Structure 1
Amino acid sequence: MNQPDYEFLRKLLREKSGLDLSSDKQYLVESRLLPLARKAGLPGIGELVQKLKDGNSSLIGQVVEAMTTNETFFFRDKVPFDHFREAIMPELLKARASRKSVRIWCAAGSTGQEPYSLAMCLKEMGAALSGWRVEIIATDLSQEVLEKSKAGLYSQFEVQRGLPIQLLVKYFKQVGELWQINSDLRAMVQHRRLNLLHDFSQLGTFDVIFCRNVLIYFDQETKINIFGRLAKSMEADGFLVLGAAETVVGLTDVFKPLAERRGLYRPSGAAPAKPPAFGTLQKMATMAGH
């Protein structure tokens, strides 16, 4: 791929998705777009770029999807899900005891492993959530990955990555060579196509926002803008969960980190919270009864 073609693709991707590719990522672009070019019956990336310059809108959408579909797996990085079980939900059970409802947004839901991991965490809480309404909204730029998420069908390889065997047995059923997450868990997750660069205020207000491993691809100005809008979409005492390589520190003061919980943030106006002790399942059941 020649340099002008690469520069054209960089500019296109930044405008359409916020993806900020550095000048040394040509190998990544080639590995993702060459299969797409061949599928479209084109001999190479140069011809693909020419079609894009001609304004082929469906091809533009496919290029954006190919470049922004990120890897995901069940309980990825483990720590955010420990935070969810041990700090976030116990506090929300107390704070939302009167209204008995919690809204959670997975802002880069991809093929569903993250929202379904959260759904399994919630199911495991059992009686503590009896009588509660819990909404999980999963959004993504790619319609293709959202369709896969809705279906909840995963290969043997996908369920072996990060998913404990006891949860596989408990919450999935085998369909031929695939595994499908049970319908009651699928019903816990609503899917919406969404570009984080665009207005998302119509989604409403959330108690918890998981926005992991997506902001790393954006330039600084875009990140600051998205953090500002995330803060407006969150309850004053809500929680923001970022990926391991992401932070608000040095970018914005609308969120503050919880020193003892890596990757966990609160809106700056929120009262400081003490993280609950480990092994909180029993306590959670008690809190829900209050």
Structure 2
Amino acid sequence: MKLLILIPIFFITSTSRAQVGFIEDVTNENGHYTSFYAAYKNINDVKDLTLKHDSISIFLLNAKKFTHLEELHLHFGNSSMNYSNLLEIPSLTNLSIDYSYVVHLPDKIYTLKHLKNLTLTHNGIDSLPYDFFLNNTIEVINLESNKIRTLNHAFSHTCNIKVLSLKDNWITELPESFYKLNKLEFLNVSKNNFVEFPSQITRLNNLKVLNISFNPIPAIPDDIYALKNLEVLYLTGTQIKALPKTFKKLNKLQSVFISEDLLTDSEKKKIKQCLPKNCKLTWTNEDYYHDLDFTRELK
């Protein structure tokens, strides 16, 4: 008797879930689609498209037909997919690809002249095209959780990037020309392999938020004061035990996060004395990680 009762209940539940999934797949609201087939039937209406798994391959074969597409979100693809077809969608303003094993990006991705937001996370990317940072329309780039080791790329003063996250990569140093990203306001280089504070960062005059946590850097350079617009600084998981006297010149600094695990009471006291007026200090430990949604902060 129990079996007879359970079977119809399970059938109803499964059917309901399938129906819900079907409804979600073809939902259209302000041009947003989550099904390739539904989107293809209404191709001139598609402005925002989210796809997963095998449906990505089908979409890429037909990418150039989506002439009105502005936002594209691809999840859980694979390395065999031809992402170079994305270059055939010049209308793109927002492109997101994650968990898709995109080891190498299309060489001319910078030619997407309307692109403003680019998210390429958890893909295993180990290198970037040389001209990657030459797109003058992009404002937000998120390259978190890849395998990037170097940034030997062309940088230009005309670049408009305001938000850049390189968190959780294998980077050991920044190129000399990195300072040309002079519009940068939010920079996250946490969880990399920096053994020294990158000197190029102190030349980013518009920087407001810097997260350099979980890098074995031992000290902050004296010219840190050059970051006259800095408001928030994250130093959790570093080997920093002191701050330079010039730190007091950071008049706009509002918050500093520093690990206290390895600090003596005397060292902590001296750090407090180096803080500018009205700056809040938060002691953290190795288990602490504050991850900013830089895109939300920008808005």
Greater RCO, CA 8 A, separation 6+? 1
TM-score above 0.5, yes or no:
no
Q: TM-score range by the shorter chain?
A: under 0.3
> What TM-score does the superposition give when structure 2 sets the normalisation length?
0.25
Q: If each structure's helix is expressed as a fraction of its own residues, which one has the higher value?
A: 1
